[in-house]
Structure 1
């Protein structure tokens, strides 16, 4: 297959990571979870007790970190991270970190370097609009706040992490607002992105819609 780029954007909890991973598996290309990169920065801030309000220090940390893709998670400075970056504390801090222009600039460079070397399915908040504006296929994946909170609630319970559904709804609303109103590369649907609402749609259905779009773009050849 030719060098091929798929960008999947959307708000928190819309199913981007699951859908993107399956699409990448079907196409046999690399999946890049950019959200995990921001979460990894938040995790390291907490671990090293860096002042999260010091944007210069956070940006310097982001610039110095090395990321490697891993099928089970993400490797950061040689350490593989999985559930450690999915806790509510890391999630809340990642939203704050993601608003920092310096951090976003640092990670955008790293994400673009990955995509230059190989075909990818990349998901995040600003992939189609900012990171990969010339992606072959662009998707904006969304779902209702209630459905996104329900999914997150189930995910946390399945991992043995206690959670409150109403608090999760409030958290998702805050994250949506942060993502939409940040100054640098805010969350928005690219003009040429296809909107997919997964509120009443299964993951498999969403994956098949995206795969068909990819097949069409590739001329029927994977």
Structure 2
């Protein structure tokens, strides 16, 4: 049976990561959380007092920032940082860090390498447009802002983090603006992507919809 690459892009809080993870599990594919990779770099910069507005500092520090996955966990220099990358501090800085060309190039190279053998589900903001422009299935996920903010709040609560809903909305709106307007690989829907509005969909409905799309491609011809 042939294997394909599934690229899932969209805004924060639309359910990308949760959906992509389960789609990969149902298909027996490898799940790669590209957003976690950018969060890991952001956490590395914050933890090491790297001024990410200073490109010289960024270039020097990136060589000391080694990211890899172990199962569904992300490791930074061999340390598990699953919890650390979900804090509000990282939330507030990840979009400007993600807009840095040197950071994007380092991570895009890694992501492309991970996808060479196919059988991969990757989610992010430029997966279908930049990382895997030839992906067999591209999905772009959207949702109402109120729905997105409440999902993010619940996600934070599960991790033991209490945050004001209005602060979450403000953070999401700010990230949308930065992600969509950055010069390098802005967030946008690929011309051949399938758009899914998840506002009124359960997680299982989102998963089933994408698995059905994927199986149609896998078994065609």
TM-score by length of 1: 0.95
| Contact preservation (8 Å) 1:52, 1:58 | yes
Partner of 2:98: 98
Once residues 64 and 110 of structure 2 are traced to their aligned partners in structure 1, the CA distance between those partners, rounded to angstroms, is 11
- How far does residue 79 in structure 1 lie from its aligned partner after superposition? 1.3
Once residues 33 and 52 of structure 1 are traced to their aligned partners in structure 2, the CA distance between those partners, rounded to angstroms, is 22
- How far does residue 58 in structure 1 lie from its aligned partner after superposition? 2.1
Partner of 1:204: 204
Once residues 189 and 142 of structure 1 are traced to their aligned partners in structure 2, the CA distance between those partners, rounded to angstroms, is 10
| SS in structure 2 at match of 1:6 | strand
- How far does residue 220 in structure 1 lie from its aligned partner after superposition? 6.4
Q: Deviations over 1:99-128 (max 9, x none)?
A: 111111111111001111442100000000
Aligned length: 221
Moved more, 45-54 or 206-215: 45-54
Structure 2: gaps (5+ residues): none
Partner of 2:25: 25
- CA RMSD, Structure 1 to Structure 2 (Å): 1.5
Q: Deviations over 1:119-164 (max 9, x none)?
A: 2100000000000000010000111111110111111122221200
Is 1:151 matched with 2:151? Answer: yes
Once residues 60 and 115 of structure 1 are traced to their aligned partners in structure 2, the CA distance between those partners, rounded to angstroms, is 27
Once residues 152 and 60 of structure 1 are traced to their aligned partners in structure 2, the CA distance between those partners, rounded to angstroms, is 33
TM-score by length of 2: 0.95
Is 1:36 matched with 2:40? Answer: no
Partner of 1:142: 142
Partner of 1:214: 214
Structure 1: gaps (5+ residues): none
Once residues 60 and 126 of structure 1 are traced to their aligned partners in structure 2, the CA distance between those partners, rounded to angstroms, is 25
Once residues 90 and 68 of structure 1 are traced to their aligned partners in structure 2, the CA distance between those partners, rounded to angstroms, is 18
Once residues 26 and 220 of structure 1 are traced to their aligned partners in structure 2, the CA distance between those partners, rounded to angstroms, is 18
| Contact preservation (8 Å) 1:63, 1:103 | no
Once residues 78 and 103 of structure 1 are traced to their aligned partners in structure 2, the CA distance between those partners, rounded to angstroms, is 19
| Contact preservation (8 Å) 2:3, 2:218 | no
Partner of 1:53: 53
| Contact preservation (8 Å) 1:29, 1:119 | yes
1:8–1:96: structure 2 CA closer, same or farther, 3 Å change rule? same
Matches within 5 A, 1:109-120: 109-120=109-120
Partner of 1:132: 132
- How far does residue 201 in structure 1 lie from its aligned partner after superposition? 0.4
Once residues 91 and 55 of structure 1 are traced to their aligned partners in structure 2, the CA distance between those partners, rounded to angstroms, is 21
